[in-house]
């Protein structure tokens, strides 16, 4: 049986009070609509259609070719939104899940369970429900004496008795696709909101003698629909906990989950330890047996096995196995470190390759550079890569030694096994195995320091009082 998904993402979200469209607000680093679509795709749907409205271009730009799109130009209710999909899915046979783009905590496991129950019972509709202690704001699921779903009543249309019901509609459904679009033709807007409710389809099915089932989620968090910043923070908290649990069950040690942030798309190998204050964002990949943190901020980076990173910031960087970074290092985009490289305290690296076994231990800047194997870069060394107009490349070849406080004025090459003396400013390439000295010759003036002190003392004594 063919499986399809409709993601409702047309609302502006006025209660968010934001210029960013509601479904694009991130939860653990990923826009909400991305969480929802990914869950549907992992559940095995073959076609996904996203209903867009406000911020249509931005939503499409983010989701790209992973889905098809239809425009709901006027927001006239959820039933009206789904009806816009008829031109794409109206002629299809199979099961269709409908899920809101602002429910980022819904899981692929739940969606798959929803579809399986729906198909096994031959239902026209199956509603994903949950039980809440405080169901205010949610549509209520009204059941008959036999426990079957009779109808769904929106909060504003509830009677006093219906308002007391604790089982709520999460806004996620599975439908027989052909029956869904047939029933939508019968939906009216005769209600308190003057909108076309998708929930009215349930009552239509019941009147037609169709089977309507309910699948209750065992995770209340999946029912959270984000309409304001408070709900957004709640969704973030639930997602953070869920992600931390998943990684710990996969063999990752998180010393203090409450102070550790892990993005939704981050992958981490077993036996890695995350220390407090660690922030992992974007498409970051951490290998096995790494020690990350404390206070490490890593985004869109690849970290190989056995790496140690302390008190450092990495962005779009690659770190080879057994390397050490920090404390207080900054690896900027384009940084690629080989195996067993050492980057020490207060070192900044940008758009540079540093090969196996090389060391940049402290207080240095390596930018737009190619550093070979087993190179030592001394304290305070700088690749001077920018002349105010253009950037140039510095090359330091295998086994070279660059002393402390050396300025390498790019473009320049330090050859294999070459030695650059501390304090030098190098403007010409250094051939293999040569020694470069580029600093003024030292001159000592006997007794001159005492003369300087004497002059200073006399000047002070002759100074007029204020």
**Which residues are designated catalytic?**
362
- Residue 391: CB atoms within 10 A of its CB come to 13
Q: Is 386 annotated as a binding residue?
A: yes
Give the count of alpha carbons within 13 A of 450, CB side only.
2
Homologous superfamily (CATH) of 347-448 is Hexapeptide repeat proteins (2.160.10.10)
SS3 76: coil
d(CA 150, CA 33): 30
Identify the band that residue 436 occupies on the pLDDT scale cut at 50, 70 and 90. Answer: very high
Q: Is 375 exposed, middle or buried (0-12, 13-18, 19+ CB in 10 A)?
A: buried
Q: Report domain 3-223's class.
A: alpha beta
Over the stretch 112-125, which tens digit does the pLDDT of each residue have?
999 999 999 999 99
Output the pLDDT for position 441: 87
Residue 47 above 60 pLDDT? Answer: yes
Domain residue ranges in the chain: 3-223, 347-448
Q: Is 10 annotated as a binding residue?
A: yes
Identify the band that residue 208 occupies on the pLDDT scale cut at 50, 70 and 90. Answer: very high
Percent above pLDDT 90 for the chain: 85
Cβ-based neighbours of 148, under 8 Å, separated by 6 or more: 212, 213
Q: What average pLDDT does this structure show over 47-70?
A: 96
Q: Is 422 annotated as a binding residue?
A: yes
Output the average pLDDT for the chain: 95
Q: Is 176 annotated as a binding residue?
A: no
Residue 365 above 80 pLDDT? Answer: yes
Q: Which helix (H) or strand (E) holds 70?
A: strand 68-71
SS3 172: strand
- Owner of token pair 């783009």: 101
Residue 178 above 90 pLDDT? Answer: yes
SS3 240: helix
Residue 137 above 90 pLDDT? Answer: no
Q: Is 305 annotated as a binding residue?
A: no
Over the stretch 278-295, which tens digit does the pLDDT of each residue have?
999 999 999 999 999 999
d(CA 228, CA 42): 27
Identify the band that residue 465 occupies on the pLDDT scale cut at 50, 70 and 90. Answer: low
Task: Please give the structure tokens belonging to residue 185.
Answer: 């033709």
Q: What average pLDDT does this structure show over 328-340?
A: 98
Q: Please give the model's pTM, rounded to 2 decimal places.
A: 0.90
């Amino acid at each position: 049986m063919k499986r399809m998904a409709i993601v409702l993402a047309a609302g502006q979200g006025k209660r968010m009070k934001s210029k960013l469209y509601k479904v694009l607000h991130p939860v653990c680093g990923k826009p909400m609509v991305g969480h929802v679509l990914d869950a549907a795709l992992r559940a095995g749907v073959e076609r996904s259609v996203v209903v867009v409205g406000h911020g249509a271009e931005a939503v499409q730009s983010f989701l790209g070719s992973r889905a098809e799109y239809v425009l709901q130009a006027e927001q006239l209710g959820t039933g009206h939104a789904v009806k816009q999909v008829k031109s794409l899915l109206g002629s299809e046979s199979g099961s269709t899940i409908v899920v809101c783009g602002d429910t980022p905590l819904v899981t692929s496991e739940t969606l798959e369970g929803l579809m399986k129950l729906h198909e096994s019972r031959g239902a026209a509709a199956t509603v994903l429900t949950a039980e809440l202690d405080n169901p205010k704001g949610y549509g209520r699921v009204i059941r008959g004496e036999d426990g079957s779903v009779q109808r769904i009543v929106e909060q504003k249309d509830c009677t006093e008795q219906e308002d007391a019901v604790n089982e709520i509609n999460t806004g996620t459904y599975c439908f027989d696709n052909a029956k869904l679009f047939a029933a939508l033709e019968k939906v009216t807007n005769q209600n308190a909101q003057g909108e076309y409710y998708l929930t009215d389809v349930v009552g239509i099915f019941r009147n037609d003698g169709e089977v309507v089932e309910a699948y209750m989620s065992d995770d209340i968090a999946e029912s959270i629909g984000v309409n304001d910043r408070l709900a957004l923070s709640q969704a973030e908290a639930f997602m953070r906990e869920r992600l931390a649990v998943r990684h710990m069950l996969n063999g990752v040690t998180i010393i203090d989950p409450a102070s550790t942030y892990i993005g939704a798309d981050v992958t981490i190998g077993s036996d890695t330890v995350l220390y407090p204050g660690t922030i992992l964002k974007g498409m970051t990949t951490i290998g096995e047996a790494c020690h990350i943190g404390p206070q490490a901020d890593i985004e869109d980076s690849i970290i190989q096995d056995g790496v140690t990173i302390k008190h450092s910031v990495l962005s779009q960087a690659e770190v080879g196995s057994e390397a050490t970074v920090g404390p207080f290092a900054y690896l900027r985009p384009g940084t690629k470190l080989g195996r067993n490289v050492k980057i020490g305290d207060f070192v900044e690296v940008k758009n540079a390759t540093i090969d196996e076994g090389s060391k940049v231990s402290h207080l240095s800047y390596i930018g737009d550079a190619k550093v070979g194997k087993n190179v030592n870069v001394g304290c305070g060394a700088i690749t001077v890569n920018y002349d105010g107009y253009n950037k140039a490349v510095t090359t330091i070849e295998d086994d070279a030694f660059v002393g402390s406080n050396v300025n390498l004025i790019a473009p320049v090459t330090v050859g294999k096994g070459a030695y650059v003396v501390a304090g030098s400013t190098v403007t010409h390439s250094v051939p293999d195995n040569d020694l470069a000295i580029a600093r003024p010759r030292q001159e000592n003036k006997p007794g001159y320091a005492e003369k300087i002190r004497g002059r200073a003392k006399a000047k002070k004594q002759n100074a007029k009082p204020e």
